Chains A and B, each alone.
Chain A
Amino acid sequence: MNESIVQVRNVVKHYRKGREAVEVLHGLSLEIAAGDFCALMGPSGSGKTTLLNLIGGLDQPTSGEIEVNGERIDQLDSRALSRWRSQRVGFIFQFYNLMPVLTAQRNVELPLLLKKMSARERRERALTALEIVGLKDRAKHLPRELSGGQEQRVAIARAIVSDPDLLLADEPTGDLDRDTANEILDLLGTLNTRHGKTILMVTHDPVAAERARRTVHLDKGSILEAA
């Protein structure tokens, strides 16, 4: 395909549990090409969420290198990582995505508060993002007035509003029923094919994984050779 946008090289990750260190990732290496839609699958405890967090700059590897779009994010400090995330990555989670006190539009505007932009510009960009996910008419609604699927779509709009290269999704359909899940997956697919967004999605749902272009399997902290 295209050049790789994400390069994970020999990454090891330890967690401290009291006195002991538990090794969650064992010298893992992975490459994701620009424009790819990749699903990360594996049983619980396999380290897939950990890997996602590391690629998203939410955590640092114990050893190894992570390069995203040419930048070595394992060398950035916490402040730099915050800035990097605001420009380069969009996150979508299973729960707790939206601020319950803000309208859909304001929720989508949130990442834009970190950039220099007039209020009008912010509003326009947010509405554009909402239009892409098909919820422009719900812009003034609060999260509690939206269905689960609609909330997730707003979350996706927020994830793309600052035009990042990479979208990271952690079980985005985990809390949704079949039909709604399909809608969300359709949306993610559109973002990938029509808007060229690179997507890395952690999931345990094989139906969801099928929507991706490729699947990477993890078990006990290592990548299984593809099947």
Chain B
Amino acid sequence: MGGMLHLVIRNLTRKKLRTFFTVASIIIAFILFALLGGLNRAFTAGVELAGADRLVTQHKVSFIQPIPVAYVSRVQSMDGVRAAAHYTWFGAYFQDPRQQFGLFPTELELLDDIYPEYEIPPEQHERLLATRTGLLVGEAMAAQYGWEVGDRVPIFSTIYPRIDGSYSWEFEIAAIFTGTGNTADEMQAFMHYEYFNEARQFGQDTVGWIVTRVEDPDRAEDIAEKIDARFANSPTETKTSTEAGWMAGFAAQFGNIGLIVRLVLACVFFTLLLISGNTMAQAVRERTGELAVMKTIGFSDGRVVLLVLAESLTVAVIGGVIGLLLGTLFVYGAASALAQFFPGLAMSAGTLGWGLALAVALGLVTGGPPAWRAARLRVVDALGRR
């Protein structure tokens, strides 16, 4: 076995430049694969975070229309509902109006019932509930802006002026929460709805949307329908979907990102297939005489096939693994640089798994035809060919 491996490696290093170039182009393709996988995930990160037992209820006509806060208690009292709370888009920015982030006025006491995955240290939690202008900030966001518990910060709203006409709202950083490890959920902040509702100039007693946690995820769709039925034919009709569906719909607004990604990858891999496949075929063609000699020694057709496939697989898998590793590094580098816009940019095990499978497939497909030809090689013809 070791002997065969030795032969495979020596064959691959026969023309070092050629092997290097082939492996290099495979590495490139897999870097792209990793990057695009990360990008795809950035757009769909929300879907992964979505809880199977959560529903989102918004104004039926459009997301930007507010709904009455009274709706929440009506939803809370419905059968099968474990908890319900409201949220509103504040349109917040810290210093640069072009870098808005998610700040949501809500009933902070209920946050834990809806998003139990957020963890807040108990003393901070107490402080948060006791401070009217208190702000709950995700760890990633606090790190981004350099905020610490106790800091007083002014945050602007692009939408809501205060009664005094100013768009600047004062906050005290009261607590910092950690999420599920996916930075997307840590790039958020929450404030007391009371503070918001009492100081806002317009839109009192309205909210942006309601998030409901149901007791039984299997009944989620069912309850969603019931909620909308409850408010049908009223001046403000609603549209309720599962959180995953809502997030997916949002991602779909960018257009069919998944499709574009896959098209680009297909183009890249097709080109790559041609390059490696051709190189492989070339390498085998050059060795017709040697392969014939091996057959005379007693290597069966099957063994010769394995030899050729082993070569192409080695090239493809080595290139693939290196490419995926490098790509992952780049994704993490980009993720910290772009945390603002793409909090979900990260590498997923799925992407890596698919990448590896693809590398193996590449090895088999590029090695296949030459291996087949090597198997069918007739020794007497090959040796006679001088």
Residues of A within 8 A of B (CB): 49-50, 53, 56, 58-59, 78-79, 82-87, 91, 93, 95-97, 99-102, 106, 109-114, 119, 122, 158, 170
Contact = CB atoms under 8 A, between A and B. Distances in A.
Closest 4 CB pairs of A and B: A86-B298, A82-B300, A96-B289, A101-B10
B7 interface: yes
Interface string B180-220: 00000000000000000000000000000000000000000
A51 B386 CA distance: 19
Contacts of B293: 91, 93, 96-97, 99
A112 B298 CA distance: 10
B294 A83 contact: no
A99 B301 contact: no
B6 interface: yes
A119 B3 contact: yes
Given A93-B293, A99-B290, 9 more contacts: A53-B380, A58-B380, A84-B298, A93-B296, A111-B298, A113-B3, A114-B303, A119-B3, A158-B297
B298 A78 contact: no
Given A93-B293, A101-B11, A106 B300 contact: no
A96 B3 contact: no
Contacts of A110: 7, 294, 297
Contacts of A83: 298, 300
Contacts of A109: 3
Contact of B296 (A79, A91, A95, A99): A91
Contact of B300 (A58, A79, A111): A79
B74 interface: no
B297 A102 contact: no
Contacts of A111: 297-298
B295 interface: yes
B383 A59 contact: no
Nearest to B382: A96
B297 A101 contact: no
Contacts of A78: 300-301
Contact of A85 (B2, B3, B296, B383): B296
Given A109-B3, A113-B4, A122-B3, A58 B11 contact: no
A95 B6 CA distance: 23
Range for the number of chain B residues in contact with chain A: 20 to 34
11 contacts: A49-B384, A53-B379, A79-B301, A82-B303, A83-B298, A93-B293, A95-B386, A100-B14, A106-B6, A109-B3, A111-B298
Contacts of A106: 3, 6-7, 10
Nearest to B297: A111
Contacts of B300: 78-79, 82-83
Nearest to B12: A101
Contacts of A122: 3
A119 B295 contact: no
A110 B386 CA distance: 24
A96 B296 contact: no
Contacts of A96: 289-290, 292-293, 383
B154 interface: no
A126 to B, nearest CB: 11
A106 B384 CA distance: 26
Contacts of B297: 85-86, 91, 110-111, 114, 158
Interface in B366-386: 379-380, 383-384, 386
B10 A58 contact: no
A69 to B, nearest CB: 15
Contacts of B290: 96, 99-100
Nearest to A59: B380
A37 to B, nearest CB: 20
* Interface-central residue, B2, B302, B379, by most chain A CB under 10 Å: B379
B21 interface: no
B265 to A, nearest CB: 35
B299 interface: yes
Contacts of A91: 293, 296-297
* Interface-central residue, A78, A83, A87, A96, by most chain B CB under 10 Å: A96
B11 A85 contact: no
Contacts of B301: 78-79, 82
B13 interface: yes
A95 to B, nearest CB: 7
A91 B298 CA distance: 10
A170 B386 CA distance: 14
Nearest to A142: B10
Contacts of A95: 289, 386
A101 B298 CA distance: 19
A102 to B, nearest CB: 6
B212 to A, nearest CB: 68
Contacts of A114: 297-299, 303
Contact of A102 (B10, B295, B296, B299): B10
B14 A101 contact: yes
Contacts of A87: 298
Contacts of B11: 101
Given A78-B301, A91-B297, A58 B289 contact: no
Nearest to B304: A82
Given A85-B298, A99-B290, A58 B379 contact: yes
Nearest to B301: A78
Interface in B262-311: 289-290, 292-303
